[in-house]
């Protein structure tokens, strides 16, 4: 049960208002595929499913993974919940990647996201800025950072909320 704290961050659910902000700023469209890295109890996945997305959740803690699966069951083939370590999975094909993890995990994810995501994919981080990347959109109040692959090295283009 202590493992998650060392490999990405301990469980703490995202608040409903922050989830809403993250999904709005991601500009998630029905039919797009969203990955939540460290899916916890699945509440974020459900919010994305209710907006018509397909989702893939990755969760390392077996108890949270089980709860997450139960929560997503009613969405059938639009939801996939993987028990495992996000660093061992390929994120290719994701339109949106979301996470609420430790700063160390966000730092570690940077090169993986850079390598595996396609241009135009959005990376939405709850509270953890990605070092060296410039966000395209920010919700300063809720500390939500959105990066668009292909734009994240640009000097200008910051939109506040
Ligand atoms: C702060 S919680 C966020 C839960 C959910 N995304 C939300 O926003 O409500 C972080 C979750 O990431 C999981 N986690 C930590 N490291 C992980 C890893 N390397 N691979 C998969 N899951 C991980 C933890 O078990 C925990 O449930």
Q: List the domain boundaries for the chain.
A: 3-160
Among 10-14, 38-42, 44-48, the least confident range: 10-14
136 lines ligand 1 (CB under 6 A): no
Share of the chain above pLDDT 90, in %: 86
Measured from the CB, is residue 38 less than 6 Å from ligand 1?
yes
**3-state class (DSSP) for residue 130:** coil
Q: How confident is the model at residue 7 (pLDDT cuts 50, 70, 90)?
A: confident
The chain-wide mean pLDDT, for the chain, equals: 93
Distance 152 CA to ligand 1 centre (A): 24
| pLDDT tens-place string over residues 86-103 | 999 999 999 999 999 999
User: Ligand 1 centroid vs 41 CA: distance in angstroms?
Assistant: 9
β-bridge mates for residue 55, sequence order: 34, 79
The model scores a pTM over 0.85: yes
**Domain spanning 3-160: which CATH class is it, in words?**
alpha beta
pLDDT computed for residue 48 by the predictor: 98
Q: Are 7 and 85 in contact (CB under 8 A)?
A: yes
Q: Which of 151, 118, 116, 121 is nearest to 136 (CA)?
A: 151
Alpha-carbon distance of 113 to 152, in angstroms, equals 11
Region 132-146: mean pLDDT is: 96
125 lines ligand 1 (CB under 6 A): no
Query: What is the reported pLDDT for 61?
Result: 96
**How far is it, in rounded angstroms, from Cα 12 to Cα 5?**
11
Q: Which of 73, 67, 25 is nearest to 49 (CA)?
A: 73
The mean per-residue pLDDT over the stretch 3-17 comes to: 88
Helices (H), ranges, 8-122:
16-26, 43-49, 62-72, 103-116
Q: What is the dihedral of CA 99, 100, 102, 108, to 10 degrees?
A: 10
Mean pLDDT of 135-161: 82
154 C-alpha to ligand 1 centroid (Å): 29
The per-residue pLDDT for 158 is 57
pLDDT tens digits along 23-41: 999 999 999 999 999 999 9
């Amino acid at each position: 049960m202590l493992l998650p704290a060392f490999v990405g961050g301990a469980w703490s659910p995202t608040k409903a208002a922050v989830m809403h902000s993250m999904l709005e700023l991601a500009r998630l469209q029905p039919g797009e595929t969203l990955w939540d890295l460290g899916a916890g109890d699945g509440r974020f996945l459900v919010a994305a499913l209710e907006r018509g997305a397909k989702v893939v959740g990755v969760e390392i803690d077996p108890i949270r993974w089980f709860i997450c699966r139960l929560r997503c069951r009613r969405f059938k083939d639009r939801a996939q919940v993987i028990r495992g370590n996000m660093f061992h999975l390929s994120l290719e094909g994701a339109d949106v990647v979301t996470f609420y993890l430790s700063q160390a995990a966000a730092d570690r994810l940077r090169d993986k996201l850079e390598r595996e995501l396609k241009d135009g994919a959005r990376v939405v981080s709850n509270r953890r800025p990605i070092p060296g990347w410039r966000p395209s959109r920010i919700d300063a109040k809720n500390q939500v950072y959105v990066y668009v692959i292909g734009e994240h090295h640009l000097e200008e283009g910051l939109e506040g909320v």
